[in-house]
């Protein structure tokens, strides 16, 4: 029995042909049924590999989500730029957030 999590469900949506739907009982890949009988269901290892890929991508972008949450709203930033200029905005608002949440090296 292979339990399905958020990334497995996303993988299923990506692997499904356009317009296809799937249903699953109790979040179990063994209970997965495609609504389109003409489609050959992908093997569990294919679904799980795609899910790992999606989860890795999500984890690698944590810095970007953290930065977005830290920046002030756009109106505040535009007001800051208007009154102080772009260079001051970069040094006072952008650079500290980037330093706090650095982009990981790949």
Whole-angstrom CA distances from 67 to 44, 71, 72, 97 are 35, 6, 10, 6
Note whether 41 and 67 are same-domain residues.
Answer: no
Radius of gyration of the chain (CA): 21
pLDDT(3) > 70: no
pTM of the model: 0.64
Number of domains observed in the structure of the chain: 2
Phi, psi dihedral angles at 59 (to 5 degrees): -65, -35
Residues 6+ apart with CB under 8 A from 11: 47, 48, 50, 51, 53, 54
Is residue 13 domain-shared with residue 49, that is, in the same domain? yes
DSSP reduced 3-state for 14: helix
Residues 67 and 55 occupy one common structural domain? no
pLDDT for res 26? 65
pLDDT at position 98: 96
Q: Is 18 exposed, middle or buried (0-12, 13-18, 19+ CB in 10 A)?
A: exposed
Same domain, 10 and 45: yes
pLDDT band at 1 (very low <50, low <70, confident <90, very high): very low
Q: In terms of domains, do 17 and 51 share one? A: yes
């Amino acid at each position: 029995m292979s339990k399905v999590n958020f990334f497995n469900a996303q993988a299923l949506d990506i692997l499904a042909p356009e317009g296809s739907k799937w249903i699953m009982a109790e979040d179990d890949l063994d209970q997965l049924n495609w609504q389109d009988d003409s489609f050959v269901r992908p093997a569990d290892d294919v679904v799980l590999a795609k899910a790992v890929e999606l989860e890795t991508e999500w984890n690698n972008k944590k810095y970007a989500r953290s930065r977005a949450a830290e920046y002030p709203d756009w109106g505040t930033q535009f007001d800051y730029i208007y009154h102080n200029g772009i260079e001051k905005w970069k040094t006072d608002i952008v650079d500290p957030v980037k330093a706090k949440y650095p982009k990981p090296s790949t």
